[in-house]
Amino acid sequence: MSQTASATPAHRATTSTGDAIFAAAAKGCGILVLVILSAIIVSLFIGGLPAFRAFGFNFLVNPDWDPVRQIFGAEVPIYGTLVTAVLGIAIAVPLAFGIAFYLTELAPEWFRRPVGTAVELLAAVPSIIYGMWGFFVVVPIMGDYVQPFMIDLFDGVPVLGTLFAGPAFGTGILTSALILAIMILPFIAATMRDVFLTVPAVFKESAYGVGCTTWEVMRSIVLPYTRASVVGGIMLGLGRALGETMAVTFVIGNTNRISTSLFGPGNTIASIVALEFPESPTGSLKLSSLLALGFLLFVISFIVLAISRLLLRTKVKS
Amino acid sequence: MKIITTALVLAVAGFSAAAEAQQITGAGSSFAAPIYGKWAEAAAAPTGLKLNYQSIGSGAGINQINNRTVDFGASDMPVKPDDLASHKLLQFPTAIGGVVMVVNIPGVEANKLKLTGELIAEIYQGKITKWNDPKLVEMNKGVTLPSLAIAPVYRADGSGTTFVFTDYLSIVDPAWKSSVGAATSVKWPAGNGAKGSEGVASTVKQVKGGIGYVESAYATQNHLVTTHLRNKAGQFVMPEMENFAAAAASADWSKVQNFAIDLNDQPGAKSWPIESATFVLLPTDAKDPAQSKAVTKLFDWSFANGGKIATDLLYVPLPTTVQNQIRAAWAAQIKG
């Protein structure tokens, strides 16, 4: 320390060169991210171009995926990706809200840390583990108990009977959504807990002062105050759910048909790419279609991320 | 001190011996990976060759050899003659394996159920949906078939096994051929996909009423409930070594080009109907001909001495006449 303090002007000159180098390097790192990202988008687009050319707009709405006849469409994977992700969110959000509500308002002080840590640990579990656990534990439970029960229960009931129909494979759209919900739960719960804690104590105390219950404080003070951030957190979870590959591949049934039943099998963009990629010859239309699917997934994820940024920014401004 | 010196000398000798071993690289078929691994292990000492084989799937193996990033490619699906010519590849089979049906029907034990190709095609098209369908019941007198939904399971990942299976269904059922066809992945009209042989096997195990197809070696190792199948001669045969070998022996290898033989639905009373060879693709214009030569040396040794290894792993060795035809093809096309 004392050596640095007694440094000569010459030494200071080297430091400023060092500064310049460091600044340039840091700038380089920043630019590198942009370059890599755009390179990925561009290469996916160029790779997918033959498929876009061959099928045009029809690629997006064609439900066929027929390698024998070289007809490829993205409708089923896009549908599967969106439906599993949205269902996953629908299951995860109430749970995450419950966790966050409990941790910030109800739980005794000593209990908050272990539960909070456990939720964060869920995020650290590799997705292949969720896939295997889903396949060997959740799928048999769904196939042996949940699905036969629901199928019998709603048999003949309009709408519900269609939603819960079909052979009880255990796999399918709903099972995937369940696994996804568990996977994205920690992201949403952690965001909610953090933003709930940002609500100024004086707001809540005033509400309690006029006789509000804990629930009324949550509903009328905390939620309105943090609404944008909560939605932003949900969008982050949605982004993760859209791109999830291995866990979904294990449990979705991997079928290129759109099923009206939630127990029916389906496919997602990420899982079809993972499954079909090794058997796609270079230069083939199939490989190009898979790259085009990758590009579409990129676009979907980008839109979701943009919306979440937008919502979070609104919050910062207000 | 002496001991240390000796140890050092030995270590150096061992190291240089390892360094001297010629390394050959291959990639592709995961179906053939176990046997190539065992063959290379046994051949290492007598031939001085070391094999680095990546089990990445047939399609990827074809890509790799087309780009010449490996010394040989391996595929379960024969490559079209045009593609062989344009990429300057020599194709030859190395071993044969059967594909068997596995089922999960409460009360039905291994090799009790009788199936035909036509019925399997109808099941996988969703035309037969219950195990007590009259067609199945009539074929299986003496077996009690429950009123249970049939849950067909297929390989969701692109796979040579899927090609063999769909090719067989295309041969026996014209409706399958026109509506679905044969490829490493197809547009399945019914059923659920699972990842890999292990995925198909465990899905069938978990789902009551499940039916799936896997390589025979996989079914045997995992004690799955297999079925009888009716062959071209109208006989119901068991999925066992003897019948796999019978089909390979009754095939007419002399008429096919590039050894691209289709072993499905072969004649002969004992022939197992769903069966395929696995192929190696070798460049005829290799940058380093010594590498291609080394590959032929490895398989030459394996053909001559690897028969027992193959049968232990439940692959059928090639008939000797075919092995000799392959040796002739090497002599004619692989220089080095």
B128 in contact with chain A, both atoms CB, cutoff 8 A = no
Residue A3 has pLDDT above 60, yes or no: no
> What's the pTM?
0.81
Pure H helices in B97-159: 117-124, 134-139
B58 in contact with chain A, both atoms CB, cutoff 8 A = yes
Question: In a mutagenesis test of the B interface, which of A68, A175, A249 is the best target, namely the one with the most B β-carbons within 10 Å?
Answer: A68
Measure in Å the smallest separation between the Cα of B193 and chain A Cα atoms: 5
The answer to whether the CB atoms of A254 and B156 lie below 8 A apart is yes
B65 in contact with chain A, both atoms CB, cutoff 8 A = no
Per CB-CB distance under 8 Å, the chain B contacts of A67 are 158, 183-187
Per CB-CB distance under 8 Å, the chain A contacts of B131 are none
The answer to whether the CB atoms of A279 and B195 lie below 8 A apart is no
What's the average model confidence in pLDDT over B63-85? 90
Confidence of residue B252 (pLDDT cuts 50, 70, 90): confident
Per CB-CB distance under 8 Å, the chain B contacts of A282 are 63, 66-67
Give the domain ranges of chain A: 75-317
Three-class SS state of A210: coil
Measure in Å the smallest separation between the Cα of A251 and chain B Cα atoms: 8
CATH topology for the B21-96+276-333 domain:
D-Maltodextrin-Binding Protein; domain 2 (3.40.190)
The answer to whether the CB atoms of B206 and A282 lie below 8 A apart is no
Is the CB of residue A291 less than 8 Å from the CB of residue A51?
Answer: yes
B209 in contact with chain A, both atoms CB, cutoff 8 A = yes
What's the average model confidence in pLDDT over B272-293? 92
Using a pLDDT cut of 70, give the percent of chain B over it.
94
Q: How many residue pairs from chains A and B have C-beta atoms closer than 8 A? A: 91
User: Are B21-96+276-333 and B99-252 in the same CATH fold?
Assistant: yes
Measure in Å the smallest separation between the Cα of B182 and chain A Cα atoms: 7
The answer to whether the CB atoms of B192 and A169 lie below 8 A apart is yes
The answer to whether the CB atoms of A140 and B209 lie below 8 A apart is no
- Torsion sign over Cα B304, B305, B308, B311: negative
Neighbours of A111 (CB within 10 A): 12
The pLDDT, as a whole number, for residue A309 is 80
Per CB-CB distance under 8 Å, the chain B contacts of A281 are 59, 62-63, 66
Q: Which CATH number fits domain B99-252: 3.30.230.70, 3.40.50.450, 3.40.50.10540, 3.40.190.10?
A: 3.40.190.10
Choose between B160 and B121: higher pLDDT: B121
- Cα(A289)–Cα(A72) distance, integer angstroms: 7
Buried b (16+ CB within 10 A) or exposed e, A167-192: bbbbbbbbbbbbbbbbbbbbbbbbbb
What's the average model confidence in pLDDT over B171-186? 92
The answer to whether the CB atoms of A253 and B193 lie below 8 A apart is yes
The answer to whether the CB atoms of A281 and B63 lie below 8 A apart is yes
Going edge to edge, which strands form the sheet with B89-104?
Answer: B49-55, B22-28, B72-75, B275-283, B89-104, B210-215, B151-155, B192-194
Confidence of residue B166 (pLDDT cuts 50, 70, 90): very high
Residue among A66, A136, A253 minimizing CB distance to B192: A253
Q: Would you state the structure tokens that stand for residue B202, as one six-digit string?
A: 């465990």
Chain A residue closest in CA terms to B184? A279
Residue B70 has pLDDT above 90, yes or no: yes
Chain B residue closest in CA terms to A266? B192
Q: Would you state the structure tokens that stand for residue A160, as one six-digit string?
A: 């519900």
The mean pLDDT of chain B is 88
A37-44 contacts at long range (C-beta below 8 A, 24 or more positions apart)? A40/A298, A41/A295, A41/A298, A44/A291, A44/A292, A44/A294, A44/A295, A44/A298
Annotate B235-291 with DSSP letters as a single string: -EE-SSHHHHHHHHHHS-GGG-STT----TT--STT--SSEEEEEEEEETT-SSHHH
The answer to whether the CB atoms of A69 and B209 lie below 8 A apart is no
Confidence of residue A7 (pLDDT cuts 50, 70, 90): very low
pLDDT tens per residue, range B127-142: 999 999 999 999 998 8
Give the domain ranges of chain B: 21-96+276-333, 99-252
The answer to whether the CB atoms of A167 and B186 lie below 8 A apart is no
Q: Which CATH number fits domain A75-317: 1.20.1090.10, 1.20.210.10, 3.40.50.1980, 1.10.3720.10?
A: 1.10.3720.10
Measure in Å the smallest separation between the Cα of B151 and chain A Cα atoms: 7
The answer to whether the CB atoms of A171 and B186 lie below 8 A apart is no
Measure in Å the smallest separation between the Cα of B82 and chain A Cα atoms: 15
